[in-house]
Chain A
Amino acid sequence: MIITTLADKINDANAKGRTALIPFLPGGYPDKEKFWKEILELDANGADIIEIGMPFSDPVADGPVVEAASLKCLDAGVNLKWILEGLAKVRSQINAGIVLMGYYNPVLQYGLEKFAKDANSAGVNGLIIADLPYEEGVEFRDLLAKNEVALVPLVGLNTSPERMKLYADGGNGFCYFVSVLGTTGDRDSLPEEIKVGLKQAKEIFNIPVALGFGLKHPSQLIQLEGLVDAAVFGSALIRHLGDGKSCAEFMKVWK
């Protein structure tokens, strides 16, 4: 089953001559009250897809900024139920596609089938599970697909064409290309070899390719013209909000 919502969002932005924007915020950040307001503000200020983090106590793929923000949300009592119920209430006011990103264990404890159903009814279009490589994710991917939620494939600089093909085969939504051999967190420069990897991904996947991890400023994308359909940014946005500034202000730079 092909789920087109996320790809459509990115293609629409690209058709207007711009890279699609995918801001990331951990669910419940900067606090439980402000969070949904920030999501609406991201939506109103040019987000094509919004990624909501599902906080986990042991986020191995995350750098210090996302980890600290996630732990803060956990302390405030955020869980999957809170995110899904809150989303269901505001979903009709959000234009952007919605992707949830997190780790496998909280989803497993929620119940895979129940999660797929509840995510669908809350208006979730896609799911990114940082610690679910192809081999472990096939059954869940099909379960999600039945509920019209795309399991977004994550690949990186060290992913061989063979493994990219595995992901491309049933991959849905968009391909999330990790810009660095490392964790989330904004960096001043991106590795040169990224171009080779992105070219490969563009050839192998028949869905749009998003670049994420390490993005700090839109100028980083200039040398990657034609290779990146969408940009994901998390740490830079979290830091910005942490300084008490607004989403609108942040999005202005990226639009």
Chain B
Amino acid sequence: MKRGYFGDFGGQFVPELLMPPLLELEEAMGKILKSAEFQQEFTSLLKNFVGRPTALTYCANLSRELGFNLWLKREDLAHTGAHKINNTVGQALLTKMMGKPRMIAETGAGQHGVATATAAALLDLECEIYMGAVDVKRQSHNVRRMELFGAKCIPVESGTQTLKDAINAALRMWIANQRTTHYCFGTAAGPHPFPLLVREFQSIIGREAKQQFKERTGEMPYMVVACVGGGSNAIGMFHEFVSEESVKIVGVEAAGTGEPGCFNSAPINLGTPGVLHGAHSLLLQSEDGQILPSHSISAGLDYPGVGPEHVHLHASGRVQYGMVNDSQAINAFKMLCHNEGILPALESSHAVAWAIENKDSIPKGANVIVNLSGRGDKDMDIFEDYLKQHGK
């Protein structure tokens, strides 16, 4: 396989000015990540700061209703309320050991921004977060959280003023400040080596889930399911299971409102091959190769691209990628609250919804682990708006 590629996907489609910091990062990964010093510190932070291992919860009530055994890997219980923190603590530690005093990051909904600001505060790094101006307005609560942690949140006024433009702005800033600054990329997408780096930090999810499930049942699960925005929580869950041939693996994309031709965030199902943000992947784009706006009710899935490893896992047939629309996700959101006392993020609700919608094709009594990537407190306003517009 070509360096930095997963099959035909991945690569480093960036301005030459970004090649030196990408090569520097790749070299640092090789030197630092495997070192005992890094591993000890990272493991300790995951345990004592992030709160790992996160629980593996058996959902007895929903399992009775659905006919298969539903298990949740509880990333909502990690510090700051989502899986994002695994990656930012890892990258912050790497930044520190690379001798750089400063991190920048992009954020859509604000989850990755909050997680980056948190890790930066902990490790005493300066921190700047780029966020689309539209998202700044939609997620003011998260902006305030970032600022409390001492990060500077910079609204991005260009383009569609959402996540993809925040990534553009952060890449531009990285070009200019590469000597002092690490770009803490938030998902398993972007130019090589980010898809590998983020997978490295998120694969703790699948490792724990596998071990916890084995301890509880003595078996392998029948299936694992996770939602896919850029793809970091999903690749974190999947990585450990890809070589376990008996385990079915399902990634879930956001179909938006769901009617044919609607805005969506499902590039694997509805996109075409192209190059954005440094990688050859699948994209939502026009025939002319201009990037189209995406939509999902869950801000964290609202991205027109996807990490290249997922596209490869799709192309090779190892992982199945499904779609769930806004209303199905809302339904799963309510069901998990009612039946289990768990308030899931709308992103994670897509993964839960896929399992619910496909219950008839899952054998009775099969064990299905859904990765609950985050908690839903951040989504209460969106949920209530949705009910106002669509009725209960």
Contacts and interface: CB of A to CB of B under 8 A. Distances in A.
B20 A158 contact: yes
Contacts of A90: none
A58 B176 contact: no
Interface string B173-213: 00110110000000000000000000000000000000000
B275 A57 contact: no
Contacts of A105: 274-276, 283, 285, 289, 291
B291 A133 contact: no
A133 B14 CA distance: 6
B15 A131 contact: yes
A183 B289 CA distance: 22
- Chain B, interface SS category: mixed
B129 to A, nearest CB: 18
Contacts of B283: 105
B16 A133 contact: yes
Contacts of A106: 288-290
Given A57-B159, A60-B168, A107 B16 contact: no
Interface in B1-57: 3, 11-17, 19-20
B285 A181 contact: no
Contacts of A190: none
B140 interface: no
A74 interface: yes
Contact of B158 (A61, A64, A136, A156): A64
Interface residues of A, number: 43
B289 A107 contact: yes
Given A131-B278, A135-B12, A158-B17, A80 B175 contact: no
Interface string A149-169: 000001111111001000100
Interface string A71-84: 10010000110000
A104 B12 CA distance: 12
A107 to B, nearest CB: 7
16 contacts: A60-B168, A71-B159, A80-B288, A105-B275, A105-B276, A109-B285, A131-B14, A133-B14, A136-B11, A136-B13, A155-B16, A159-B17, A163-B16, A178-B17, A181-B175, A181-B179
Interface of A: 56-61, 63-64, 67-68, 71, 74, 79-80, 103-110, 130-136, 154-160, 163, 167, 178, 180-183
3 interchain residue pairs of minimum CB distance: A109-B289, A106-B289, A105-B289
